[in-house]
Structure 1
Amino acid sequence: MSAGDGGVGHPLFEHVAAAYSDSDDGRLDNASLYRMVAERAGIPESKRRARSPIGRTGQLHSPVERAIRWHTQTLKHMGAIRRVDGERGVWELVERTRQGLHVPAVPVKLVAFSTALGVAIWGDNRGVIANLDEPIHLVLTSPPYPLRKPRAYGNVPVSEYVDFIVHAIEPLVRTLVRGGSMALNLSNDVFMASSPARSTYLERLIIALEDRLGLQLMDRLPWVNLSKAPGPIAWASKERIHLNVGFEPIIWMCNAPRESFADNRRVLEPHTEKHRQLIAAGGTAVEGDYSDGAYRRRAGAFGRETAGRIPKNVLMRGHRCADAMATRRDAQRLGLPPHGAVMPTSVADFLVRYLTEPGQLVVDPFGGKGTTGLAAERAGRRWLICDRVLDYLRAGAERFRAAPGFEMPEAVEHWPRAA
């Protein structure tokens, strides 16, 4: 595949894949494929048919139709489609389901890689999890933010964001066990058009998840990252209205709060030096009465030896992450685009250990480079992640190679060279 044609992450690729999925029987001839892809991508008929000299011989071909054929070959190499015997230029999905398929299909059965504890699947999250009957204990994900300037993997406008998240989460909530949790890492820095006023999409999303999916708000956990890049530029650095941002919210919700699997004993932190001194001294020497009696401290308080201190509900974690840097290097080595998200493994690790017990199932419907799966793997939890961009999963797979039972289909192993 030439550099100009792009790979799985190329926008035209999704239109080619969707054309097969949307066809009546999953089968298309080239002429129908060209027409459907052009319509979906908004390419005028004149541009689609326009011919230009291509290659050493300078023969006239349509660059658009040529690119579509390249993406068809990519689907073939990934095992998603096959040529129909006896019919020239006709391809069909290898496997179809009653609800239709998203990219890809068998023979790899959507598997990008797997370990003894989990599996990463390439495909649209609803297509992957629609028929999942495995009980889920935690949905942990960082979905695309509603940004005005989209990332490479695409973003949903803020006006559609609540419905987008509810639509993506709904099939997972159906199999979320009683007491299961959902934790969403989102952005607080979404503003009204041409205004320093922040959008209230977060509040509307929380209410929608409660009203429409029956989830209840447990906490808002700020992920504080003091090394976060300065911004918002327009309102902090130029207009001088806002302060520089230093956190992102993590919304934690549960379907049965009194039966939650959360246990702060799994994430206890070491005592501070001052606290250790109090323990050694048998606790505080004097009693105290504060805030008109709202808080009283008795003599000897903080003197008992405990396993550790309960963390505050503020996650102090920098975005610098050894796993993310290694994955970026692997992406470069493999000739793949790096994933732009920066949530470190340390944030996912804390949430996985806090909200689940060993052996329980953690699911990330926007798996990206596999941060959630990696944290679950290391914490001894089962995991399932999916993402529609194979490039990200392929680069992230390198972090799992040492995990027991690691396997990767040959077509994915050689991606993108196989395309």
Structure 2
Amino acid sequence: MAYPLHSEFPPIYTTTYGQAYCCDSATFLKTLPSESIDLIVTSPPFALIKKKSYGNESTAQYVDWFINNFAEELMRVLKPEGSLVIDIGGTWNKGAPTRSLYHFQLLIRLCEDIGFHLAQEFYWYNPAKMPSPAQWVTIERIRVKDAVNVVWWLSKSERPKANNKRILTPYKKSMKQLLKSGYNDGPRPSGHNVSKKWGIDNGGAIPPNLLNYHDVDLSLVDNLLEIANTRSSDRYLSACRTLGVKAHPARFPRQLPQFFIEFLTDPGDLVYDPFGGSCVTGEVAEELERRWITSEIDPSYVLSSKYRFFDLESSPEDEED
């Protein structure tokens, strides 16, 4: 499988469909050919009040940091019909029970300055999030806990490649009954006209942009992605415990990239995650038979991420032979 990448960055490991790189993504992006990527799906470090071990920019500098280092290159490497999906959490203003607008400011800059189109916004609701900020939620009790991330689906063109037939959800009991007994077509009080086509069994319901995840199953309610993100045991985590290495502390749940990879790409398309972390995106893309590349600046995260694909007893070199 050919990857038209600069030889300056040899991959740390290679799988059947993908390659993981350890390097500064701002530099790595410049080596990728223009219009070579079908989908970029990522969860960059958020702008948080407290610094995290994996590194994150301050709220005041975040938007300029992302725009100046990544935005134009992300646009350049996408194919004309390609998409950029960014999971980005909000934060609070330091010392005050009010919210920062940085993630909205980033969206506006990406669209107005760089030229991306906002294809659709999604919401990831994590019911297992801690009740924070503690000062405002559990001490003064003047706010509820912050448990929702926005997920921006941005496209390079006004007509991005997408197919919601690949992400249909099971019909609810009420819909199954309607399909069985017949649909009452015609105008509704709201003015919407329900045609006879609404009574056709298409094998599942078109999901809204509220994604609702429970463990490994996906159900959708409106435009919210509900993902508890409480997984404490999988192949990657087991390997980290065995090796005595620290797992990435901010892994995003596999259901999130899975939804967008299935929705926005076909088998054989190329998926890229410029903030690869523990390579969740790569693992999902591998299972879905999409080609993938990830770049991550922290070598410990890249080295441990290979155990999503390889057994502890074997090395990537052994797997490639």
Q: Which TM class, normalised by the smaller chain length? A: 0.7 to 0.9
1:395 paired to 2:304: yes
Alignment of 1:39-50 (within 5 A): none
Aligned partner of residue 257 in structure 1, secondary structure: coil
What is the TM-score with the length of structure 1 in the denominator? 0.66
Aligned partner of residue 188 in structure 2, secondary structure: strand
Shift >6 Å, 4+ stretches: none
1:329 paired to 2:225: no
CA distance in 2 between partners of 1:329 and 1:169 (Å): 35
CA distance in 2 between partners of 1:407 and 1:160 (Å): 40
Find the partner of 1:350 among 222, 246, 259.
259
Is the CA contact (8 Å cut-off) linking 1:151 and 1:340 kept in structure 2?
no
CA distance in 2 between partners of 1:110 and 1:214 (Å): 32
Alignment of 1:305-316 (within 5 A): 305-316=201-212
Tell me how far 1:302 sits from its aligned partner.
Answer: 4.2
Tell me how far 1:130 sits from its aligned partner.
Answer: 1.3
CA distance in 1 between partners of 2:188 and 2:11 (Å): 60
Cα pair distance change 1:110/1:323, threshold 3 Å: farther
Find the partner of 2:87 among 167, 182, 185.
185
Can you list the C-alpha shifts for 1:375-404, whole angstroms capped at 9, x where unaligned? Answer: 1111111111011112112222111128xx
CA distance in 2 between partners of 1:231 and 1:207 (Å): 27
1:165 paired to 2:66: yes
Greater shift, 223-232 or 370-379, is seen at 223-232
Match in the other structure for 1:138: 39
Match in the other structure for 1:280: 180
Match in the other structure for 2:113: 212
CA distance in 1 between partners of 2:38 and 2:233 (Å): 25
Alignment of 1:3-402 (within 5 A): 109-133=9-33, 135-166=36-67, 167-188=69-90, 190-258=91-159, 260-284=160-184, 289-291=188-190, 294-297=191-194, 302-317=198-213, 318-320=227-229, 325-401=234-310
Aligned partner of residue 104 in structure 2, secondary structure: helix
What is the TM-score with the length of structure 2 in the denominator? 0.85
Aligned partner of residue 316 in structure 2, secondary structure: coil
How many residues end up aligned between the 2 structures?
296
Aligned partner of residue 251 in structure 1, secondary structure: strand
Is the CA contact (8 Å cut-off) linking 1:136 and 1:172 kept in structure 2?
no
Tell me how far 1:290 sits from its aligned partner.
Answer: 2.1
Which stretches in structure 1 are left out of the alignment for 5+ residues?
A: 1-96, 98-104, 411-419
CA distance in 2 between partners of 1:110 and 1:156 (Å): 28
RMSD of aligned residue pairs (Cα, Å) = 2.4
CA distance in 2 between partners of 1:325 and 1:336 (Å): 15
CA distance in 2 between partners of 1:367 and 1:393 (Å): 8
CA distance in 2 between partners of 1:289 and 1:133 (Å): 51
- Counterpart code for 2:203: A
User: Comparing both chains, which one has the higher relative contact order based on Cα–Cα distances under 8 Å and sequence gaps of 6 or more?
Assistant: 2
Tell me how far 1:170 sits from its aligned partner.
Answer: 2.5
CA distance in 1 between partners of 2:153 and 2:92 (Å): 22
Tell me how far 1:326 sits from its aligned partner.
Answer: 3.3
Q: Based on CA coordinates, which of the two structures has the bigger radius of gyration?
A: 1
Can you list the C-alpha shifts for 1:196-240, whole angstroms capped at 9, x where unaligned? Answer: 111111121011112332111112100122222222322222222
CA distance in 1 between partners of 2:128 and 2:210 (Å): 15
CA distance in 2 between partners of 1:185 and 1:203 (Å): 12
